[in-house]
Amino acid sequence: MSDPVTLIYVTAPDEAAARAIGHAVVAERLAACANILPGMRSLYWWQGKLEEATEAVLILKTVESAVERVIARVRTLHDYAVPCAIALPVGAGNPDYLDWIRAETCA
């Protein structure tokens, strides 16, 4: 059975930070692709206070067997004390695209 494809959803303080994390993870072949969505507004609880911030979203496309290494790498590259890095399994998709992600990721 082939390695299932997984998306890693990451938030970053800004586009530059998302780009730096994405570039490192893709260059190290932990993920086949990184998408950056700048300008997201976040509302969240932090240290007992309701906070609001502008952030960027980073979506990393990888395989299930690399998830733990991707998350560990994101944690070392990230400025946040508790960075968001959440794995989301891909149930289905264009088979050729999913095969491309598998081929370009070193699990």
- What DSSP state is assigned to residue 91? -
What is the pLDDT confidence band of residue 66, given thresholds at 50, 70 and 90?
Answer: very high
pTM for the model: 0.95
Confidence band for 97, pLDDT divided at 50, 70 and 90: very high
Q: How far apart are CA 19 and CA 107, in angstroms?
A: 22
User: Would you say how long the chain is, in residues?
Assistant: 107
Q: List the domains of the chain with CATH numbers.
A: 5-104 (3.30.70.120)
Torsion of CA 33, 70, 39, 44, to 10 degrees: 150
The string of pLDDT tens digits covering residues 27-56 is 999 999 999 999 999 999 999 999 999 999
